[in-house]
Amino acid sequence: MNAVPAPAALLGAAGFAGFSQALLGAAGFAGFTLGAWLGAWSLWAAPDRAARLERAALQAIRAGFLLLGLALTAGAAASWRAAGRLWPGDPRSAWILIAWLVWFTVLHVHRVKAFKGRTATIAGLAGWVFSLLAFLALGRLG
């Protein structure tokens, strides 16, 4: 049997958990966006203000990371309930996982002594651009 798309009835069956996934995913990415842009600002700011901006950026990224983790869990719960699968396999969930792993890497980059400061901030910006490109590419796939 050739693969065909899932019936619309199943696609729309994510329920509350699926709605939560979308909401948490959007909030998580908002955190990343804020973190990335605060980081970008810190690159041109005076040294004392740059340190404060970097700390604020890290807090925003951490909040985004936690929210995206919750979004992943909500997606897995919705998929398990709807179709007995832990991994939904839809573009939205794939993008959330990719963004989450990007920021997992970025958070660890912040912990490498040699990368702290400017390098970590640039890594954060690159991660944000990568997440955005992944979002656009997966939107086309879906």
Dihedral over Cα of 71, 75, 78, 84: its sign: negative
User: Which region among 2-10, 24-32, 34-42, 47-55 touches other proteins (by CB under 8 A)?
Assistant: 2-10
Residues 117-136 that bind other proteins (CB under 8 A): 134
Query: Which residue number, 10 or 26, has a Cβ lying nearer to other proteins?
Result: 10
Whole-Å CA distances, 68 to 44, 49, 61, 102, 137: 29, 28, 10, 11, 19
Residues 17-56 that bind other proteins (CB under 8 A): none
Residue 80 as a binder of other proteins (CB under 8 A): the answer is yes
Cβ 125 vs Cβ 40: under 8 Å: yes
Q: How far apart are CA 76 and CA 18, in angstroms?
A: 9
CA dihedral of residues 123, 95, 18, 10 (deg, nearest 10): 180
Supply 122's token pair: 């640039």
Closest distance to other proteins from the beta carbon of 50 (Å):
20
Residues 82-111 that bind other proteins (CB under 8 A): 82-87, 89, 91, 94-95, 97-98, 101-102, 104-105, 108-109, 111
Residues that bind other proteins (CB under 8 A): 1-7, 9-11, 13, 15, 59, 62-63, 65-66, 69-70, 72-73, 76, 80-87, 89, 91, 94-95, 97-98, 101-102, 104-105, 108-109, 111-112, 134, 138, 141
